């Protein structure tokens, strides 16, 4: 018997890679920065709030993570070109794009103005498409592949009775974009995948982890659908993210990965 020669350590090695993190100051964006930064990536962090971004950049630098920042959201072609230009000016190339930005707006469809729907779609779909377009052009020009990771949600696969028509639609669109670009860019060695968490510990969801009647009732109802029987932690997202950004996923494209404790399996 001849065992295959597999270098398990190098499979997940992203040290020295250059990653653009869009929406870096958000809950998932901070998980991305900590995961990739501590694994040795150089980070170009983006976001719309310059002060918040500067604070995050300082924290990352103090942790020994090589970080540059540009206070832009991917709202237009010009914004996305500026983000790419900032990464190239700082580091000379791009290896990884993680789109961690996004918003939610909960409302019954009959009460939601079209403008609110369009704002959510701009943030969750248009921005992801625009920045993928800009970075994809750079990946193709570099001629050595690349990694794209979008942020989806369990709501891209499952509906919800509490006014999620806009959000579910946007995340289903992200899933479709993931599959389409996975097919379109395969010939360039560019992998395109999405990570789709459900509830994980963050400032936004901290109330669900509290011990009070309301939180306990909401949590119990949610956990009834989670086979592993607990809410997520940031560490639960780090492993799948590192997989999707590293050579370990070189034959994995056009897929949505669900670090959700089995929530979408039921």
Q: Are residue 88 and residue 120 in the same domain, yes or no?
A: yes
Residue 207 belongs to a domain = yes
| pLDDT at residue 239 tops 80 | yes
140 shares a domain with 161: yes
**Whether 188 is catalytic:** no
Q: What is the residue range of 36's domain?
A: 10-197+235-259
In whole numbers, what is the pLDDT of the chain averaged over residues? 95
Residue 23 within any structural domain of the chain: yes
Would you say residue 227 has pLDDT above 80? Answer: yes
User: pLDDT at position 253, please?
Assistant: 98
Judged by phi (left if over 0) then psi (alpha if -120 to 50, else beta), residue 169 lies in: alpha
195: left (phi over 0), alpha (psi -120 to 50) or beta: beta
Which pLDDT does position 3 carry in this prediction? 84
> What pLDDT does 205 receive?
85
| Residue 106 pLDDT > 80 | yes
pTM, rounded to two decimals:
0.95
- Say what the pLDDT of residue 113 is: 97
More confident residue, 146 or 156: 146
Which of these ranges, 23-27, 111-115, 196-200, has the smallest mean pLDDT? Answer: 196-200
Selecting among 167, 188, 258, 263, the annotated active-site residue is 167
Give yes or no: residues 220 and 254 share one domain.
no
* Within-domain flag for 213: yes
Listed residue (72, 79, 196) closest to 133, CA to CA: 79
Q: With helix as H, strand as E and coil as C, how does the chain read?
A: CCCCCCCHHHHCCCCCCEEEEECCCCHHHHHHHHHHHHCCCEEEEECCCHHHHHHHHHHHHHCCCCEEEECCCCCCHHHHHHHHHHHHHHHCCCCEEEECCCCCCCCCHHHCCHHHHHHHHHHHHHHHHHHHHHHHHHHHHHCCCEEEEEECCHHHCCCCCCCCHHHHHHHHHHHHHHHHHHHHCHHHCEEEEEECCCCECCCCCHHHHCCCHHHHHHHHHHHCCCCCCCCECHHHHHHHHHHHHCHHHCCCCCCEECCCCCHHHC
Predicted pLDDT at 1:
77
Give pLDDT, residue 159: 86
As a whole number, mean pLDDT of residues 118-134 equals 97
Joined together, the tokens standing for residue 8 give: 């398990």
More confident residue, 259 or 162: 259
**Total domain count, the chain:** 2
At 41 the pLDDT is 98
């Amino acid at each position: 018997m001849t065992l295959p020669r597999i270098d398990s350590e190098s499979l997940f090695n992203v040290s020295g890679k250059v990653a653009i993190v869009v929406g870096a100051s958000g809950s998932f964006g901070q998980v991305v920065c900590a995961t990739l930064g501590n694994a040795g990536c150089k980070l170009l962090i983006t976001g719309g709030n310059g002060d918040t971004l500067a604070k995050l950049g300082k924290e990352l630098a103090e942790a020994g993570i090589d970080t540059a920042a540009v206070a832009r959201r991917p709202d237009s072609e010009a914004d996305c070109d500026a983000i790419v230009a900032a990464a190239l000016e700082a580091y000379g190339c791009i290896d990884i794009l993680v789109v961690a930005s996004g918003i939610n707006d909960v409302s019954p469809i009959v009460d939601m103005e079209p403008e609110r729907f369009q704002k959510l779609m701009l943030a969750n779909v248009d921005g992801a498409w625009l920045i993928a377009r800009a970075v994809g052009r750079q990946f193709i020009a570099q001629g050595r592949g690349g990694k794209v990771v979008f942020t989806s949600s369990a709501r891209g696969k499952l509906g919800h009775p509490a006014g999620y028509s806009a959000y579910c639609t946007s995340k289903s669109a992200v899933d479709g974009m993931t599959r389409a670009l996975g097919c379109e860019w395969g010939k360039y060695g560019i992998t395109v995948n999405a990570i789709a968490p459900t509830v994980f510990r963050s400032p936004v969801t901290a109330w669900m982890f509290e011990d009070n009647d309301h939180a306990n009732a909401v949590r119990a109802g949610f956990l009834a659908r989670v086979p592993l029987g607990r809410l997520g932690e940031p560490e639960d997202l780090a492993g799948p993210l590192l997989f999707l950004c590293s050579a370990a996923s070189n034959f994995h494209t056009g897929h949505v990965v669900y670090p959700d404790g089995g929530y979408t399996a039921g």
